[in-house]
Amino acid sequence: MAWLSITMEVAPAQAEALSEALMEAGADSVDLEPGAMLTRLTALAGHDADPAGLLASAARSAGVAAPEFRAGRVEDEDWVRRSQAQFGPLRFGERLWIVPSWREAPEPRAAVVRLDPGLAFGTGSHPSTRLMLSFLEKEMKGGERVLDYGCGSGILAIAAAKLGAGSLAAVDTDPQALEVARENARLNGVELQACLPEELPAGVHDLVLANILAGPLLRLAPELTARTRPGGRVLLSGILERQAAEVAAAYAQRFSTRVVASENSWVLIEGARR
């Protein structure tokens, strides 16, 4: 089977919103490759898709101008080879690796998450995901009750498990993402409760992770606050530097908030629950 690839380069501030909009518009997968000045997006769609129409619809949804693009035909085996060449092992701190299935783990005794690029967001390549993973590697002590809100591929929850989490829960609004997260957890030997937000059992957590976007994080402030135990922490990412103050303010009533890391205009906010 042949596929249609659509490649474009956009400002980092637009990349994540446009990638999500492309998936909603009908793309089967979207890969992000951050660069020094621009982020390259490569969307994969059915061979009979209309690339201009798909991109125009996604751009309207994301509230950005449709960028210039290149379209081409990609055979199944060519796409697999290209994906495998692009995604190698990624190291975070001293003990965490994200490793695709076709590569050997550089340090087998380290905390190794096996994860392949797929149809859900989260491979470790996006700055917001890297910020989260680096923080978890540095800060997790073991035994924490962890909630991954907006789990995508499940990468954060699975990484938390490999770093010693005591229990895991994950939610996403996309049923396909939940299936991907469950399968990734199974392949990693991790027990993960993954469900829609309305199906999440009552309870509080030591560590709540939300790598989404600024808009949803603002709307979710009451829910994420209620899910974090007093003395627990919330980690928020998918936030641009210019959005950080507004997001932090939405959580300031119940959390002591601070920006703890940044990369390529993306920031990570930590909140300590009072």
- What is the average pLDDT score of the chain? 88
Q: Which of 85, 109, 136 is the last residue of a domain?
A: 85
- The CA–CA distances, whole Å, from 222 to 1, 107, 213, 253 equal 46, 41, 16, 10
pLDDT of residue 2: 65
β 266-273/111-114 pair status = unpaired
Higher pLDDT among residues 99 and 80, named by residue? 99
Structure tokens given for 224: 């994420």
pTM as predicted:
0.73
Which residues on adjacent β-strands are paired with residue 76? none
Considering the domain architecture, whether residues 205 and 262 belong to the same structural domain is answered as yes
Domain containing residue 45: 2-85
Exposure b/e, 46-74, CB count within 10 A at least 16 = b: eeebebeebbebbbeebebeeeebebeeb
Considering the domain architecture, whether residues 134 and 25 belong to the same structural domain is answered as no
pLDDT of residue 20: 78
Domain count, the chain: 2
Evaluate if residue 77 carries a pLDDT over 80. Answer: no
Q: What are the pLDDT digits (tens) for 237-256?
A: 988 898 999 999 999 999 99
In a domain, 149, yes or no: yes
Distance CA 251, CA 206 (A): 16
Q: What are the pLDDT digits (tens) for 108-161?
A: 778 999 887 654 456 666 788 999 999 999 999 999 999 999 998 899 999 999
250: domain CATH number is 3.40.50.150
